[in-house]
């Protein structure tokens, strides 16, 4: 058997970087560090040097690396069934959805692979909600300095021009307003608004929390103008909006609105 690639353990960091540079689309500027494994809160590079992981995969590896219980479950499941499409039922989807609903005070869950995909789902829900009321009701209000992902829809509502510039025109009818500016929000939301999207604490834009008064005003305006209020919790962590946004019967997140429409 012949192989063009040396075994991983013998690969130098420089070789890893060279290979990526030659064969990967160069969409990210990376730090010159090639990581090989992690344990708990530590990461190790190819030469075995240890690093304290302050970044945790941009907030993704909250449970640390190689946690024994996670490893056990992943190993067991890999030996049973790696993937089945959503054409079929799977015994774990229902229990996980119920757990998230119980924790978050929401009605239903939509599973997605990435934050951007979750936002795409929310955008589709906003548009279909608006269209069901009036064909001109498709405007979305989003916040300056926000980040919602790198797909075209998510970029359209990302309030940082540097990310959008190369890909315009994006989806129409998006208005950006400064966070925590209640008069600006009141001026932006009207009968044509189908949705308001916000991170309750902006992540990528800096650690910028929204005030409770501002979020309450967004809730009130969304209710008054029959718009959906979407909290993007990709970075902040799922279900933490319960106290701040989900009041009364709300049209708030992807699942709730679907249930809402079913009832109409």
Q: Which residues of the chain form contacts with ligand PLP (CB under 6 A)?
A: 58, 114-116, 119, 147-149, 199, 203-204, 232, 234-235
When CB distances to ligand PLP are compared, the closest residue is 115
Name the helix (H) or strand (E) containing 36. strand 35-39
Q: How far is the CB of 206 from ligand PLP (least distance, A)?
A: 12
Q: Which residues pair with 11 in a beta bridge?
A: none
3-class DSSP state of 12:
coil
The terminus-to-terminus CA distance of the chain in angstroms comes to 64
Closer residue to ligand PLP in complex, CB, 54/89: 54
E strand residue ranges, 149-252: 174-177, 193-198, 201-202, 208-209, 228-231
Q: Are 261 and 229 in contact (CB under 8 A)?
A: no
> How far is Cα 134 from Cα 186, in angstroms, rounded to an integer?
21
Q: How far is the CB of 65 from ligand PLP (least distance, A)?
A: 19
Contact partners, residue 160, CB within 8 Å, separation at least 6? 145, 146, 147, 204, 205
Closer residue to ligand PLP in complex, CB, 8/58: 58
Closer residue to ligand PLP in complex, CB, 46/215: 215
Closer residue to ligand PLP in complex, CB, 115/179: 115
Closer residue to ligand PLP in complex, CB, 16/198: 198
For residue 26 the two structure tokens come to: 């160069």
């Amino acid at each position: 058997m012949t192989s063009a690639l040396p075994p991983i353990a013998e690969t130098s960091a420089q070789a890893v970087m060279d290979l990526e540079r030659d064969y990967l689309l160069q969409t990210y500027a990376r730090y010159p560090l090639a990581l090989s494994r992690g344990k708990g809160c530590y990461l190790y590079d190819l030469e075995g040097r240890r690093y304290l992981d302050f970044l945790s995969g941009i907030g993704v590896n909250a449970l640390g690396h190689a946690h024994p219980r996670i490893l056990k479950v992943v190993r067991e499941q890999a030996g049973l069934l790696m993937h089945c499409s959503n054409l079929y039922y799977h015994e774990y989807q229902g229990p996980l959805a119920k757990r998230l609903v119980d924790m978050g005070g929401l009605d239903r869950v939509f599973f997605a692979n990435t934050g951007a995909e979750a936002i795409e789902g929310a955008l589709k829900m906003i548009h279909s909600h608006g269209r069901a009321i009036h064909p001109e009701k498709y405007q979305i209000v989003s916040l300056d300095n926000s980040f919602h992902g790198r797909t075209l829809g998510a970029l359209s509502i990302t309030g940082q021009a540097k990310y959008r510039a190369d890909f315009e025109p994006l989806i129409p009818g998006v208005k950006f307003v400064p966070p925590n500016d209640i008069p600006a929000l009141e001026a932006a939301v009207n009968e044509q608004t189908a949705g308001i999207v916000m991170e309750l604490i902006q992540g990528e834009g800096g650690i910028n929390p929204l005030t409770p008064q501002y979020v309450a005003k967004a809730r009130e305006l969304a209710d008054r103008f029959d718009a959906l209020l979407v909290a993007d919790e990709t970075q902040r962590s799922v279900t933490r909006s319960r106290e701040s946004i989900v009041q009364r019967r709300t049209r708030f997140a992807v699942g709730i609105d679907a249930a809402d429409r079913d009832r109409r």
